[in-house]
Copies of this chain bind each other. A is one copy, B any other.
C-alpha cells in the first residue's frame, strides 16, 4: 500500500517530466526521435542518477522497460498535440514544477529505503528532482531552468526536507509524502506566479 502510493507518484513524475522533454523538443522543432530522446532523458534521468549513486544497479528501467516505453509513448503523443497549449514554455515550467516536487519526495524516499540517512536522503531527493531537467535542457540546447532566478532548487529541497522531517516526527508515510510534495510545489508555484526569489548574493566591489 505504502509502496503503492510512492509508485503512483513516481510514475506520475515520470510522465510529467517526459512531457516537459517532449515540449522542449517541440520548441526546438525536432523530429519524432528527438522528442523521444528528450522525453526519455527528462523522464528517467533523475532516477537513473539516484540509482547509480546508491549502487542500485542495473538502474530501475533495465528490469522494467515499461518506463522507456511510456516515455516514448508520451513523446509520440506530444509530437501530434504539442501545438494545442497556448504557451508551451509556460506548460514546461508548470509541469516541471510538479515533477520537481514529486521526484524530490520519491527520490528521498528511495534513498531512505536503501538504508542511507536523512541528510543523504534530502540531498539525493534534490538531485533526483533536478537532474532530469538539467540534461533535458542541455540536450535541447536551452538555458537550464535550474539557473533561473526564481526559487527552484529551494523548492526541491523543501519538498525533500518536509518529507524526511515528517517521517522523523512520526507522520504516516502517505501523509509525509503528500506534505512534502505540496510544500515543494506550492513554493515553486508561488515563485512562478509572483516571481519570488531568495535574497541573492550582491557583490560589494563589482564582480571580477
Binding site for B on A (CB under 8 A): 25-37, 40, 48, 52-55, 57-59, 61-63, 65, 68-69, 79, 82-83, 86-90, 114, 116-117, 119-120, 123, 126, 134, 138-139, 141, 143-144, 146-147, 151, 153-154, 157, 197-205, 207-208
Q: State how many angstroms separate the Cβ of A45 from the closest Cβ of chain B.
A: 11
Q: Given contacts A141-B143, A141-B147, A198-B32, are A48 and B53 in contact (CB under 8 A)?
A: yes
Contact B201 A26 (CB under 8 A): yes
Contact B29 A203 (CB under 8 A): yes
Q: Given contacts A48-B53, A154-B33, A207-B88, are A114 and B58 in contact (CB under 8 A)?
A: yes
C-alpha spacing A116/B202, complex, angstroms:
46
Q: How many copies does the complex hold?
A: 3
C-alpha spacing A79/B199, complex, angstroms:
11
- Tell me which of B27, B139, B198 contacts A33 (CB under 8 A): B198
Q: Given contacts A31-B198, A33-B153, A35-B201, are A208 and B87 in contact (CB under 8 A)?
A: yes
Q: State how many angstroms separate the Cβ of A110 from the closest Cβ of chain B.
A: 12
Contact A117 B59 (CB under 8 A): no
Q: State how many angstroms separate the Cβ of A7 from the closest Cβ of chain B.
A: 20
**Chain B positions within 8 Å of A57 at CB level:** 52-55, 57
**Chain B positions within 8 Å of A52 at CB level:** 52-53, 57
C-alpha spacing A55/B120, complex, angstroms:
19
C-alpha spacing A79/B31, complex, angstroms:
37
Contact A119 B65 (CB under 8 A): yes
Contact B26 A207 (CB under 8 A): yes
- Tell me which of B31, B87, B151, B205 contacts A201 (CB under 8 A): B31
Closest B residue to A146 by CB, please name it. Answer: B139
Contact B58 A116 (CB under 8 A): yes
**Chain B positions within 8 Å of A83 at CB level:** 202-205
17 A-B pairs (CB sep. < 8 Å) = A28-B147, A29-B202, A31-B197, A31-B198, A52-B52, A52-B57, A55-B59, A61-B123, A65-B119, A68-B120, A69-B119, A79-B201, A82-B201, A86-B208, A139-B146, A139-B147, A141-B143
